[in-house]
Chain A
Amino acid sequence: MKTLYVPLDSVAVALGADELVTALKAEAARSGTEIRIVRNGSRGMHWLEPLVEVEVDGIRHGYGPVQADDVPSVWAAGLLTASPHPLALGPIEDHDFLKRQTRLTFARCGRIDPLSLSDYAAQGGWLGLRKALTLTDAAIRGELQTSGLRGRGGAGFPAAIKWQTVADTASPQKYIVCNADEGDSGTFADRMILEGDPLSLIEGMIIAGLAVGATRGFVYLRSEYPIAKTVFAQALELARAGGWLGDSVAGSGKSFDIELFIGAGAYICGEESSLLNSLEGKRGEVRARPPLPAQQGLFNQPTLVHNVLSLCAVPTILEKGGAFYRDFGVGRSRGTLPFQLAGNVRHGGLVELAFGVTLRELVVDFAGGTRSGLPIRAVQIGGPLGAYLPTRLLDLPMDYEVLAAQDAGVGHGGVVVFDSSVDLATQAAYAFAFCAAESCGKCTPCRIGAVRGVEVMDQVQQGIDHSQNLELLNDLCDVMVSGSLCAMGGMTPVPVRSALRHFPEDFGL
C-alpha cells in the first residue's frame, strides 16, 4: 500500500487540502487501489501548498500545488510511482528551498505524522528529555546558558537568566506558561509547529519544568488558530497516554502536566503579564513590573513564560548540547531562527536559518521578490511594532544588536514584504489605529496617544498644517515611548518613525 502525505496545516487547508484528500480517496476507490493518507505538517514551502507527497522506495516525492481538480491528471500520470507531471517537484527533501536551510526546531515538521508517538520517537523525539532526566536541574540550566538562547517572542531576553530566577524563587507551585498568542501579522511559525510537530513543544515544556522545579504547564493559544487547537489537544492526550505527561514523566517519578487554554481575540494578551491575567480568567490588562512574572506570575507564583519557539529549541539544546546550538549564529545572537516570509512575496513560507543571514537573502534569494512583480519598496520586520526598512538596508544581517542600532528588531521573525505600490504614511496611520484598537487601556500615553496619532496622521495625509502636525507627531511618539507601561504603546512609534525616516516623501517631505 502506498503512503501519501497531505498537510493538515492551516495554509494547506485554506488552499484546499481537505478537498484534495477527498479527491485522492475517490480516485483510489475508483481505481481499486489501497492508499494511506497521512496528514502531516507543512514543509514551509507555502507557494506549493497543497503539496502532496508520495513515498516510493523510502523517498518522498512532491507534487504541488495540487488542487482537487488536478487529481485525475496527476493520478493518471502515475502519482503513486512518482512519475513525471507538470506539477511534479521531484524528491522533496532535495528541493533547493529546503536544502539551503538549517532546520533544528523545524527538523521534523512536515516529515512526520504530528500525531504519531512512534514517528516522533523515530525522528529524534524525546532524546532531549531523556538526556535531561539524567541531569540535575542546575546542569540542565547550564546547557541552556551555554546555548545562548534568547527569547523568540520578540524581546530577545536571555532565557537562562529567566530560568535561574524561577529556579531561585522558592514556592510550592511554579508554572511554565507557553505563549502561543502569536498575534504579529506576518508570523505563523508557532502555528506551524503546533500543527506539525506538537510533541516537540510538550517535550520542551517538560524539560523547562524539570529545570526550574515547575510541575504545571499551560499553553495559551490564540483563538484564531482552530486547527492548531485541535491538533495540540490531541497531542496532549497522546503524550498522557504514552506516559510522557502525568505523575511520573517517562517513569522518572517526576510529575508534569500541561493544559491548553484558548484566548479570546486580544492582541495585547501576547504581552506576558496581560496573558497571565487572561489565563486567570480576567481582563487582559498589563501588570506593572516589578514584580517580574519569573518571581510573581500566574496566581502570584514564579512563572516561566516563553514563546513557543523558545521552548521548542530546548529539546535540541539538551540532546546535542548547549555548545552545538551556540555554534550557529553571530555575535550575541546564537542558534537559529525560523523566519517567516510573508506579504507580497513569490515564495512565502518558513525558512529556518542561523542568525546572521541578511534580509536580502531572505526576501530575494528565498522569497524570490514580490508576487506582484513590482519592485520591493519596504520590508517590515518584527510584526506590527516592528520597523519598516527601505531596500538600501537589505544587507543588514539578522542580529539583535545590529538591528537595534537601526531602531529595528527581529521580533518573532516575521518578514513582511511590500511592493512599490505601498504608501508608508498609510502604514504609519495603520500602526496608530491598530494600537488604538488593541490597547489594554491601562495607561494614558497609549490609550489616548494612539487615538491622537490616528487624528494627526489624518491631517498629515491631507496636508493640513503640515509642519505643525509633523512636530506634533514627533512629540506624540516621544510621549508614547517614554510614558507607556508596556511595549504596545512604547513601540507603536517604531513603525511610525521608521516610515517617516526612511520614506519621508510619503509624508509630503
Chain B
Amino acid sequence: MLHADMSLEPLIEPHVLQTGGLLRALHAIQGALGWIPPTAPQSLARAFNLSLAEVRGVISFYHDFKTQTPVATTVRVCQAEACQAVGAAKVTARLAQAMGVALGQRRADGAWALEPVYCLGLCSRGPAAQVDQQLLADLDGPRLEALLARFATEGNR
C-alpha cells in the first residue's frame, strides 16, 4: 500500500477546516502538480479523517481531477450543442488529425492531450476551445489554422 506523502501536506493543510475542504485540497494538489498522484488519497484520508474509499470516490466523481501524469499541453475542445451548431465535430476531427490522437486520448510521450469539454461559456462565438489556460473562440478559419499549425510544427520537431 502507498504511504502518505509528506510533501503534499502544505497543499492539504490550509483546507482541512474549510467548507468543502476536500475539494479545495484536491484543486490545490492538482494546481501545484498537474495531477492527483497515487500517494494523495492516503494523505487526504488521514487529513480529513475519511476512509480511502471515500476519498477515491470523490476524486473519481469529478471530471477535473486527473490521476494520470500530466501532459505538457492540453487542448479541451467544446462538444456541447451551441458549438455543435457551428461545426464542433469538424473542428474536433481536424484537431485530432493534427495532434495524432483521438478525442479523449493523449500522446504516448506526454506531449499533449485532446479532451472534450462541455461548454466554456463562449457559445455565442463558437466553436470554442481552451489550450492550457488560453481561451479560444471562433475557432474556425485562421484561428483554427494557427492552432493546427502549432501541433504540426511541434510534432515535426
Contacts and interface: CB of A to CB of B under 8 A. Distances in A.
Contact of A283 (B20, B26, B57, B125): B57
A434 B80 CA distance: 9
Given A15-B125, A343-B85, A343-B86, A283 B58 contact: yes
Contact of B122 (A14, A182, A344): A14
B58 A341 contact: no
A267 interface: yes
A152 to B, nearest CB: 16
B58 A281 contact: yes
B125 to A, nearest CB: 5
B135 to A, nearest CB: 4
Interface string A255-293: 000010111111100000000001111111100000000
Given A265-B62, A266-B62, A418-B85, A185 B122 contact: no
B128 interface: yes
B125 A11 contact: yes
B120 interface: yes
Interface string B22-59: 11101100000000000000000000100000000110
B144 interface: no
Contacts of B83: 185, 343
B12 interface: no
A225 B121 CA distance: 8
B85 A422 contact: yes
B137 A184 contact: no
Nearest to A186: B82
Nearest to A347: B124
B63 interface: yes
A110 to B, nearest CB: 14
A371 B118 contact: no
Contact of A279 (B20, B81, B138): B20
A75 interface: no
A184 B83 CA distance: 12
Interface residues of B, number: 39
Interface in A1-29: 10-11, 13-15
A186 B81 contact: yes
14 contacts: A10-B121, A11-B122, A13-B135, A14-B125, A46-B124, A47-B124, A184-B119, A185-B80, A188-B123, A226-B133, A261-B24, A266-B61, A281-B22, A434-B80
A183 B62 contact: no
A184 B80 CA distance: 9
Contact of A380 (B20, B65, B81, B124): B81
Contacts of B86: 343-344, 371-372
A48 to B, nearest CB: 11
Interface of B: 19-24, 26-27, 48, 57-58, 61-65, 80-86, 117-126, 128, 133, 135-138
A191 B65 CA distance: 23
Contact of A11 (B64, B117, B137): B137
A342 B124 contact: yes
A15 B61 contact: no
Contacts of A14: 120, 122, 125, 128, 135-138
A247 B19 CA distance: 19
Nearest to B20: A281
A185 B118 contact: yes
A342 B126 contact: yes
B21 A417 contact: no
A224 interface: yes
Nearest to A298: B19
Given A282-B58, A427-B84, 17 more contacts: A10-B135, A183-B119, A186-B82, A187-B121, A188-B121, A226-B135, A261-B23, A262-B23, A262-B27, A264-B26, A265-B63, A266-B61, A278-B23, A281-B21, A342-B82, A343-B86, A343-B123
Contacts of B120: 10, 14, 224
